[in-house]
Structure formats: structure tokens, C-alpha cells
Amino acid sequence: MSVVTLDRRDSGTSGTSFTRLLRWLDDGIDSKGERYLEIRRRLVAYFDRRNRSAPDTLADETLDRVSRTLEESGRIKVTPPARYCYVVARFVLLEDIRRSQREIPFDETRPISLDPAANRAETDEAAERSLQCLTRCLNRLKPEDRNLIVEYYRDAKRQRIDRRRELARGLGITMNALAIRTWRLRASLEACVAACRNRR
Amino acid sequence: MKDFAASHPIDTRMAMPPTPPMSDDPLIRYLLGALPADEVARTMVDDELAARLRLVEDDLVDSYAAGTLTGEQLQRFEAFYLVSPGRRGKAAFAKGLQTAVERATHQPRPVQKVTTQPSRHIWRESWWPLATAAVLILAVGVLFLQNFTLRRELHETARQIEDASQRAAAASQQIEVERKAAAAAKQALVDARTAPALAVVSLVLVPQTRGVTSVSIVAVPPGSSAVPVNLTLEASAGTAYDVALRDPASNRTIWRSSPLAPDRLRKIPTVPVSLPAGLLKAQHYALDLFELRSGSAPEFVSSYAFEVVRQ
């Protein structure tokens, strides 16, 4: 099992509180911190899809509030823990919206329209830099993982589906398991590329 | 700021009832900013749905990067999804991944090389064994040639050794014969020295040959005036002969006979000659026999060597 490094330096949660939070999120199954990372990832995505400017900060704020509730109440009856986190996250989102004094209705269906050209404005230089980072990160993967990524994402449409089916059959796993495996590889690549770009 | 979660205890009343599986279409609409709030909750709480949402998001972003998004989906993607810097980063990553995969798949692979360039590939893969085989064949050829040459030389040497052995055996045999002859001659000399010198015995000389032959010994008793010698003829006898006594050291003729007639009564014809004993010293001499023919110069017939022993 992979070792997970949990960075809680920006949080006000003490070591004991954080341990309690991890235990509560695990819900009886020791995930070595994986469950915390998974919930935090979902929270970041949730705030990001609400177009908040600091989704990571809001995700940490949500988890801090859950941790404080655990400290004060001793236990939270809502199950599963992810459901309680989502409920808290909705209030954190609302507060953030109000704080930003924007008149944005709290409506999940609201589309946000901005200039697409501006959104896509990533310079060629930045794109090339990202590509270099990606190549470097790909080369850091184990050969079988690198091959899996390449084979999984090559081709298109029917050919791609057939290839993925063959890959799954070759590995002796289901298509869903193959998708999850490659998603993990892709997520690690994304993190690697982000770290690489930040270093440059 | 009001901390809603802290001030409003949440209990199990907020638990949601089980809901049927969600298809990909609502997930795509959610990703594009068009999904009711209650459905969003499911993507947060349901682990399986959360995982599917991530996969659908990756597929959606990949489709955009590949340029296969069209119509309203493309519009909403650009209008909503690309608003966030984080999501723009995902789109950029998808584009980069696509490029990287294209580069990786378009790089020549070893298996493809076998298919497209078999001969060159095979040559590159196997030139060492081929070279080794060539060297081995060359070496075997050289060794075979050397072996053939050595065998031929060995046969030649063996033949030469056999010839030499045969010659050595013949020489040994001849030497043994000569040794016995010499021993007999010495014995005859001893006998001659001890015998009374009253009678003169003629000596039969045989022609000198190129081989190793013992030299006949002529014992000259004291007081004798002539030494009779019979010279054997190899061929049929002629009518007349003469003999020249020659000193082989100086090759000078010191005496010559008068014309002589051959003795045809003997089984082997001989030419009898009487040598003047006074001329003979204790040394080697040669008698040259010449056939005399009328109207022509004397013809050399043979030479006879002997050693004079003075008694």
C-alpha cells in the first residue's frame, strides 16, 4: 500500500483532532489516510465546479469545521462521513459566495459564461513547458505503467474501446478496474506535472 | 461569520434514501454546470459515482483536447468548464497527454521494425553470430588445408625415411660384405707373409666400380722380378689389349705393357699381364686396360685398383 503524506500545516486542526478526523472518515476501515485524501479531492472538485477562486482553501475549511464538530460533540451520527462533509461544504460555499459579495444565485444549474478565448489563453511556451514536464513524469513511471497509460489513451472511438477491452482482458481485470487503475496513474501524472511546473 | 456546521448539529435525518444508478449523461451535464443540487450530493457521497464522475470528466476533457466535442457540449465546455484555472489545467494536461501518447505510439517499435524492415532488423540482430560463423568456417577451411598439406608432407617424409632406411640397409649390407672381404684379404696377406716365397701366384683383378669395393692386395715377395695378374673382362673378349700401370696419387702412367692376348679358355675371359716387380712400391696402383683395334686408337675398357704390399 502506498504511503500517504498528509499536509495539514495550514489547518488549525491539532494533531489529536486530525487523528480523530482520519479515524472518523475511515469509518472503521483503516485506509492509511487514503480516505481523507479522497474526500478532500471531492471537496476541492465541488468548490472548483462552483467556480470558487480558492477551492483548496474551502475544502480545508470544510474539513476543519468537521474536525471541530468532532472535538466538541465527540461523535457525528450522520453516515456515511462523506454525506456530512458535503452538507458542511454547502454552507462553506454559501458563506464564500456571500463573502465575495457577488450576486450569484445559489443554483447548481447556473452556467457561467466567460470569454472562451481568454480561458484557453495558454501560451505556446507554457504548453511546451507542460509537455516537457509530462514527458519527464511519464519517464518516471514504471515501464508497465507507462505502457498502460499510452495504450489506454491511444486511438479513438471504437478502436479505443476495443483496445481497452483487450488491455483489461490481458491484465485479467474488469474494464472498470482498468479505468480506475489508469485514473490513478493519470492523477499521479497530473500531480507530477503540477509540481514540475511549479518548480520551473 | 456564521459557522453553520458548528451551530447546526446534523443528524441522520439528513441521510438520503438509496437512489438508482446514474448514467453518464447527468454526470456530463453536471460537469458542464447543469445539474440539480440533489444530484450533486450523490456525486459527493456515493464512492462509485464519484469514481465514475472522475472517469467521465477525464473522457470529456480528452474529447475536448481531441477536438471531438461538438454543439452544445462544446459551447458549455468552453463557457463553463474552462472558467476555472484548475479545470483549464486539466484540459491542458489532457492535450499534453494526447501529444505525448501520439509521440510514444509513433515512435518506431521493435516489433514494428520486424514487420517493416525484416532483413535489416535480422541483420542488426544477428550479425555477430553470422560473423562468428564466417570466422569459424574460415578457420575450419584453413585448418583443413593445413591438415591436408601436413598429411602430404608426412607421407613424403615417411617415403623419404623408408628410402633412406633401405639405402642405409643396403649400405650396411655392403659394408658388411666389404668388411668380410677386407678381413679375408688381411688373412690372405698374413698367409702370404708366412707362406714360402717359391711360387708366384697370379692374382685375378676385377674391374673397379663406382661402388664401395675393397681394393685387392698384391703381395710382392722379396726377390721376385714380375708379378702376374689376370684382369677379368666384363664383356666378351677382344682380340688384343694393352695395360697401363698408373700411380693414382699423381695420375701418371709409370709403365705400359706390350700388346696382350686375352685368355679365352677361362669361364670368365681374362687378360693376363706380368707387372715388373721392381716398379712396384708399397702403395695403391691402378691398371688401365685398353682394347687394341686395327685402324683406330686404343679404347679404354676398364680400370683395376690394387695395393702393393712388399713382403
The reported pLDDT for the residue numbered A169 is 93
Q: Is the peptide bond before B118 cis (omega within 30 degrees of 0)?
A: no
**Mean pLDDT score of chain B:** 77
Buried b (16+ CB within 10 A) or exposed e, A166-187: ebbeeeeeeeeebbbbbbebbe
Summarize the confidence of residues B255-274 as an average pLDDT: 87
How many Å apart are CA A37 and CA B276, to the nearest integer?
A: 148
Q: Evaluate if residue A131 carries a pLDDT over 50.
A: yes
CB contact under 8 A, A110 and B33: yes
Q: Evaluate if residue B12 carries a pLDDT over 60.
A: no
The reported pLDDT for the residue numbered B111 is 43
CB contact under 8 A, B31 and A49: yes
The reported pLDDT for the residue numbered B50 is 86
Of A49, A111, A186, the CB nearest to B76: A111
Using only the alpha carbons of chain B, give its radius of gyration. Answer: 66
Q: Evaluate if residue B199 carries a pLDDT over 50.
A: no
How many Å apart are CA A36 and CA A146, to the nearest integer?
A: 27
Q: Evaluate if residue A162 carries a pLDDT over 80.
A: yes
Cell of A10: 495550514
Beta bridge partner(s), residue B302? B289
How many Å apart are CA B301 and CA B195, to the nearest integer?
A: 34
How many Å apart are CA B299 and CA B290, to the nearest integer?
A: 5
How many Å apart are CA A78 and CA B11, to the nearest integer?
A: 5
Q: In what order do the strands lie in the sheet with B252-256?
A: B216-220, B299-310, B284-291, B241-247, B252-256
Cell of A138: 511519464
CB contact under 8 A, A66 and B5: yes
- Tell me phi and psi for residue A36, to 5 degrees: -60, -45
The reported pLDDT for the residue numbered B53 is 86
B50 at interface of A, judged by CB pairs closer than 8 A: yes
How many Å apart are CA B172 and CA B180, to the nearest integer?
A: 12
B76 at interface of A, judged by CB pairs closer than 8 A: yes
Report CA-CA distances (Å) from A152 to A149, A179, A185, B272: 5, 9, 11, 129
Contact present, B6 and A79 (Cβ < 8 Å): no
Q: Pick the closest to residue B43 from B59, B28, B63 (CA basis).
A: B28
Q: CATH assignment of B203-310?
A: 2.60.40.10
Contact present, B52 and B27 (Cβ < 8 Å): yes
Beta bridge partner(s), residue B310? B220
The reported pLDDT for the residue numbered B242 is 93
- Host H or E run for residue B271: strand B270-276
How many Å apart are CA B45 and CA B17, to the nearest integer?
A: 12
Tens-place pLDDT, residues B220-243: 888 888 888 888 887 777 889 999
User: pLDDT grade, residue B119 (50/70/90)?
Assistant: very low
Q: In the A/B pair of chains, how many CB contacts fall below 8 A?
A: 161
- Tell me phi and psi for residue B52, to 5 degrees: -65, -40
Contacts of A70 in chain B (CB under 8 A): none
User: pLDDT grade, residue A61 (50/70/90)?
Assistant: very high
| Ranges of each domain in chain B | 16-107, 118-179, 203-310
- Tell me phi and psi for residue B192, to 5 degrees: -65, -40
Beta bridge partner(s), residue B275? B227
Q: Pick the closest to residue B88 from B75, B78, B98 (CA basis).
A: B78
CB contact under 8 A, A48 and B87: yes
Report CA-CA distances (Å) from B293 to A161, B147, B167, B234, B288: 130, 65, 41, 18, 16
| Ranges of each domain in chain A | 15-99, 123-199
How many Å apart are CA B286 and CA B249, to the nearest integer?
A: 10
Contacts of A75 in chain B (CB under 8 A): none
Percent of chain B with pLDDT over 90: 7
How many Å apart are CA B189 and CA B194, to the nearest integer?
A: 8
Most confident of A51-65, B180-194, B267-281: A51-65
More confident of the two residues A60 and A161: A60
pTM score of the predicted model = 0.49
Those of residues 67-106 in A touching chain B at CB distance below 8 A are: 68-69, 72-73, 76-80, 82-89, 91-92, 94-95, 99
**Mean pLDDT score of chain A:** 81
User: pLDDT grade, residue A103 (50/70/90)?
Assistant: low
B98 at interface of A, judged by CB pairs closer than 8 A: yes
Please write down the HEC assignment for all residues of B90-151: HHHHHHHHHHHHHHHHHCCCHHHHHHHCHHHHHHHHHHHHHHHHHHHHHHHHHHHHHHHHHH
Of A86, A88, A126, the CB nearest to B41: A86
User: pLDDT grade, residue A89 (50/70/90)?
Assistant: very high
The reported pLDDT for the residue numbered B6 is 37
Torsion of CA A7, A10, A13, A16, to 10 degrees: 40
Torsion of CA A63, A68, A70, A76, to 10 degrees: -70
Torsion-angle region of A101 (φ positive above 0: left; ψ -120 to 50: alpha; else: beta): left
DSSP secondary-structure letter at B45? Answer: H
